Amino acid sequence: MKPESAPSNGWETTSVRSQWLNQHDAGRLISFSLPCPEVDFAAILAAAAGSSRFLWRDPDGVTLAGFGTATNLIAYGPERVSQIQAQAKQLFASARLLADTPALAAPRLFGGFAFRPDFVPDNIWTAFGPAHFVLPHYQYLEQGAERWLTINAFIAPDDDPDAILPQLREALSARIEQLAGLDGAATGAAAAVAEVNYPLTMAAWEEIIATTTNRMRTTELEKVVLSRVCELRFHDDIPIPAVLAHLDARYPDCYRFLFEPRPYHAFLGATPELLVRVDGAALRTMGLAGSIGRGADEATDAALGQALLDSAKDRFEHDVVVQMLRQRLTPVTTELSVPDTPILLKLGNIQHLYTPVSGRLKEPAGVLPLVDLLHPTPALGGVPRELAME
């Protein structure tokens, strides 16, 4: 039985597909990788239209692109982060890697969590669970001069992985040949906006701001991050690969991402913010709060940056974030480096106050416990956290 979201465009052979299971509790995960020529990530995503698609590109030059679904991990409620970690641990406990490949080319889960643990998906988010991660059927890695394509599949518990290896190699080799022939420019044209709509009226929005400001004067509330929805409607389907290619060209110093667990239900964007990264015992995060625009020339840009560094309001908001990171990370680390003074992070159209934070974990257990510990930071929620989230 083929993975339920795998592409059905002739990129797989029926003989191999019939032996794969799409539920990890019914079988054992096997993963096989082969070197691959360089392929434009947007071309991969365009060719995989109609299937689930995933992307992660970071400022350090790592690209991970995936398509098709080998399995889903879903959890709910306040314990959703630890539940996903337990499911992932079970998934990978008996996994078999059938080749020596770089660590990044090993099976990767793409996904995320709802901002609030009590979130109930509305009509926009029906394809996304409160905690939802996907193991892609195929995943492409690009890091430096290395490029690999990996196939993830499930076999029956009593099947011999080595016996299936020739079929996996055949399927993967055929896929690599097809990827090598893709046109990097075939990502689709930009879609024209037909309508812009704010479900929350300006009057209602201003009332929320006034109420929140009053609460900050009369309670312990120090900071709150407010937002409202902006809906864009287009004449035609949104060409996701073209949007990502645009973001990639415009914001190379940001993290560019796509999570599309169901075809044409996508969460994508580009952000400079890193909540946390864990490599073994090493952790990395950042304080990023306080912003100002870029100048039209070097002198104006430098003046704007200095104004941001000198702003008491922005420095206070930034310090709130940094102190939270220090407070929450100190008990779980043996070493923690937190600079006393922020620097400027300059992006294409904006510059931020930026404090890089690094450390060593006392008891490394992956990235998810740190996600649970840090989310939401004051940069996204507020201070105190519980009061700001009400």
pLDDT at residue 185 in the model: 54
CA–CA dist 263, 271 (Å, integer) = 23
281 to each of 43, 287, 335, 339, how far by Cα in Å?
36, 20, 10, 20
pLDDT given at position 278: 96
The tens-digit pLDDT sequence of the chain (390 residues) is 233 333 344 444 333 433 444 444 558 899 999 999 999 999 999 999 999 999 999 999 999 999 999 999 999 989 999 999 999 999 999 899 987 778 889 999 999 998 888 888 777 888 888 999 999 999 999 999 999 999 999 988 888 888 888 999 999 999 999 998 887 654 666 678 899 999 999 999 999 999 999 999 999 988 888 999 999 999 888 899 999 999 999 999 999 999 999 998 999 999 999 999 999 999 999 999 999 999 999 999 999 999 999 999 999 999 999 999 999 999 999 999 999 999 999 998 999 999 999 999 999 999 999 999 999 888 888 888 888 887
- 129 Cβ contact partners less than 8 Å away, ≥ 6 residues apart: 74, 75, 76, 121
Report the sign of the C-alpha dihedral through residues 33, 261, 376, 293, in that order.
positive
**Would residue 175 be called left, alpha or beta, if left means φ above 0 and alpha means ψ between -120 and 50 degrees?**
alpha
Amino acid identity, position 20: W
How many angstroms separate the Cα of 312 from the Cα of each of 200, 224, 325? 31, 17, 20
Q: Residue 336, exposed/middle/buried by CB under 10 A (0-12, 13-18, 19+)?
A: middle
Tell the residue number behind the tokens 């104006």, with chain if given.
Answer: 300
Report the distance separating Cα 225 and Cα 212, nearest Å: 10
Ramachandran area for residue 61 (φ above 0: left; ψ -120 to 50: alpha; else beta) = left
Judged on CB neighbours under 10 Å (0-12, 13-18, 19+), 5 is: buried
Distances (CA, A) of 326 to 265, 323, 359, 372: 37, 5, 10, 15
- What angle do the packed helices 312-329 and 298-310 form, to 10 degrees? 60
Residue ranges covered by each domain of the chain: 14-180, 192-235, 273-388
Q: Which residues on adjacent β-strands are paired with residue 382? A: 224
For residue 107, which of 42, 154, 38 has the smallest C-alpha distance? 154
Residue type, 24: H
The predicted pLDDT at position 242 comes to 92
